[in-house]
Each structure stands twice: as C-alpha cells, then as structure tokens.
Chain A
C-alpha cells in the first residue's frame, strides 16, 4: 500500500511542476559577462568605440553592474567649449524592420547639461540628416533632477513627451526600452518606455528613409558639468517581444 499512497500524495500535492523552456524572442544580447565587447564587435554588425581617445573612454567594468559581474563604462570629457565627446556601443545593418531595443543605465550622479547628452539613439542612412534620426537625451529639470527628451533630426526639433518631465533616477539602475518599426510609410512607429512606463508613442508616420536601422547605446555629449560624466550600461537586448523591467535576457 505504501507505493500507492506515495503515488497519490505525489499526484495530488507534488507532481512534477516542471519548467518548460520553449524558446526565446531575443534576437541579440549584450551582457558584457565575457569581459570584452565581442557581443557588439564579434560580427560585422556592431561596434564599441570612443573618440577622440583619449580623453573619451569605453571599457568593461565591474564597478557597477545590473546583473552578473560586468558592465560597460562610458566616460567622456566635455568641458565647456570643448568638442563633442563620444563613447558609444552600436548595432546596425542586420536589425529587423521592427523590434524592441532595451538597455539598462546607471548614472552615478546628477550632471548639468548645458549642451546635449545622448544616451539612446536610432540612426538612418540619409545624407540630409547626416544619418541621424532620433536622439533620446538626458536633460535637467528646473528641480535639478534629470529627465529625458527626444530630438528628431528630420524636423531638427524636440518632440514633446506624452508624460511631463519623467524623472530619471540617479544612483540606481534604470531601463530604457524602445519599440521601433522602421516603415517608410504611415505604418511606422517608435515608442519609448522609462522603467516600464511609456513616455512617448509616435505612430502612423514614416520613420527612416530606407530600411537600414542603426541603434546606439551611448554617452555622446557636449558642455556637461562635471565635464567627465560616467555612464554605466548593462544587459542590452534586441528582441521581438518587449523585455520590460522584469524581463530575463540571460
């Protein structure tokens, strides 16, 4: 009788409760856990570059990590009056017509932005805009907190967000995610989330002039104070479905 009782108990209380891993919608990830930038540079569709170097830097760091043991540390040196500083991670060329783009950022301190500071960017292949398209910039609020704005290079104008002055946290990891459908007709769409909260949704309009898509996770700035801001980046992903703050990419 004991085996029968055990079977009953197992069936009614325990069971198997297996986890069935049925696959992934992730198209690409950049986790930095190998201590290098091979995830970005290992094929012909990406890059990890700072220029001019020095003083701008891009490096693997374990000082601040979102998950795992490593992250990317992007440092630029842009005192007032100096040229634009660039430290950027790039994926391009093999990106789909539509996808979700996600990256986690850590800002150690508040930075004064008197010029501009681009941390998330979509590019196109268009001479008229010098291949620029959308810049998601860090800005300062009157309260002294940091926030976001979207700059459209085609219009050479800032696009008002759907929410007023979303606050970007300092000394805490935050996630920026975008859905980008690069349609050349009125089905185009770009949507941004900050820590899972939608902040802007541009829909029913053409996007880039060609199917080419380039995505930058960057620290590109000018006239910042302090002049050498550091930005940590971790757990980047391109996905067919939304990652969200609770998503798993490893």
Chain B
C-alpha cells in the first residue's frame, strides 16, 4: 500500500513532465541511482524494438517505479495485438516510443539514455494506465527545458513531397524600382535532407521605367533546383539553390507607336525559408533572390537602346505547405 502511494506520486510527476514540457532530471544522479524496484521477468517479452538508448531494461525499470509490478504486468498483458506491447527505437537525436499502438517521437540531442528511459516510461505508463493519473500535476520545477519535440501525428514517415502555395512579391532595384505581386506554387520532392524543388510565380503586371521609356512589365518566373532542409522539429529551416527562367513581356505605354515584346530570361536563384510545424499542413515563409546575367535590352526609337531590364530580383512568399 505504501509502495502504491509512492508510485502514484511519481507517475503524477511524470505526467507533469510530459504534459507541461517537462523538467529535466539530473542525468548524473539518475544514472547513478538504481531503479527502486524490478518489474516481473515475464514483462520483458512484451518489450521490443532496436533501441540501445534507451535500453528496454532501463525503461522497464523506470516503469516499475511508476506502477506496481502486478498492475504493470496486468495492464501490459491486457492489451491485445502483437507480442511487443512496447517498442523502442533509437533514431539518433530523436527516439521513438510505441506503446499499445500509440506512437510518440521525442528529441534529445544530448542522448541522455537514463533520461530517455524515464521519458519513455512515463509515456508508456500514461498510455497503458491513464486512470492512474487522477489529480492535477504539481507545478513543474523551474529548470532548463528539455529538448523534446512535440509529438508528431501518428504517421511518422515524412511525406514524399510537399506542395507549397503562397502569396508572393518580387521586386527589382535597377534604373527604376519595380515590384510585382502574385502567387507562388512550389513542389519539393524527397524525404531526406535534400529534395528536388521546382516552382513558378504568377505575377501581376507592373509599371516601370527604363531609360525614360515607360513600360508595363509582366514576368512569369519558373525555377528548378535543390532544397536542403535541417533536421526537423517544429521549425524546419531550408535553403534552395537552382536555375531560373522567366518569360518577360514589356509593353511601352507612352510611345507614339507602342508595341509589346517578349523575351526569355535565364538566371540563377537562391532562397531561404522555414516551415513551421510538422503536420501535413504547415505554414511557411521564404525569401528568394534571382540574378539574370544577360538581362534583355529595351530599345525604342529615337533613343535607341535605353537600358536593360533588372539584373537582380528579390522576393518573398508566405503560405501553406501540404505534405503528400
């Protein structure tokens, strides 16, 4: 009875750790102090996975401090399905815990295995015996936060592709400043750190002046390249590098005999951006720059060649990213 009260109290504290973003136990102390009680031996067969950090036996030991052995064994055995009720996977900085079909992935850059075992045990305890948590948790200790990622959706496999739709603005600073507003569509294909990316901007026409000649300018850029993303948490920064092409139409607005001409611009594009959140739908924002080394010349009579269209473009876009 006395042991049951003690376990209940630790379970409540553990729940607070998970629910509130948690407190970090001193890893050295945790590693040095042995588990308070050992779980029944037959429970070991219910643990699976390939994790070495945390090791299953450490997790079982931590579980034994949270739930009475009889209750732990009964709750684990009451769960139907595969032989392994609890599975642990060491993914490097992240580690994944599967308990009774529920999946959580946490991040621990320090790879503190004892700490990981405690976190995993708390998650398992809350999953297999949520009724044990009956009272509100005490306020968390004011200690440095643990680098635990928010749990992702149950589907932890990253999407093979993302489609991004955004509002966009593209501006140039040449002989005359010009800004186009419009919409951006982009796709990034690949699950890993690097992905193929391609996009297009549908920009509205804008008025500008080149060498004193007033023009209505319409530009439709497309690009293709490579995206490199940082390892994902809730904030996924990325950078892109690629080649660009744009269909550029210039129409004189103030000449005695005005006409429209279209050219193809070729250049290079770079971008930085970030996606916020790991769900299928996530907002994102990005900045991009484009260089057009051989910008078309504007020619009008009687002036002749009055200048070139912009060589350097910068822009921004913000919208939604959809994982497929």
Contact = CB atoms under 8 A, between A and B. Distances in A.
- Are A and B genuine complex partners? yes
**A interface, over-half SS:** mixed
B252 A14 contact: no
Interface stretch (B150-158, B174-182, B255-263, B316-324): B255-263
A25 interface: yes
B295 interface: yes
Interface in B167-203: none
Interface string B269-294: 00000000000000000000000111
Contacts of B263: 16, 18, 20
A17 B294 contact: yes
A10 interface: yes
B105 interface: no
Interface stretch (B8-16, B80-88, B119-127, B297-305): B297-305
B213 interface: yes
A20 B216 CA distance: 13
A14 B305 contact: no
A241 B306 CA distance: 13
A135 B251 CA distance: 39
A246 B244 CA distance: 35
B211 to A, nearest CB: 11
Interface residues of B, number: 39
A190 interface: no
B301 A25 contact: yes
A237 interface: yes
Q: How large is the interface on A (under 10, 10 to 19, 20 to 34, 35 or more residues)?
A: 20 to 34
A213 B252 CA distance: 28
B259 A25 contact: no
Interface string B231-257: 000000000000111001011100111
A19 B305 CA distance: 8
Given A11-B266, A15-B265, A16-B265, A25 B300 contact: yes
B240 to A, nearest CB: 15
B46 interface: no
Given A11-B243, A246-B304, A22 B294 contact: no
9 closest Cβ contacts across the A-B interface?
A15-B294, A17-B294, A24-B301, A247-B302, A18-B263, A20-B261, A23-B255, A22-B252, A11-B266
11 contacts: A7-B243, A15-B267, A16-B264, A21-B259, A22-B251, A23-B255, A25-B257, A27-B256, A241-B303, A244-B302, A247-B303
Interface of A: 7-8, 10-27, 102, 237, 239-244, 246-249
Interface of B: 212-213, 215, 243-245, 248, 250-252, 255-268, 292-305, 309
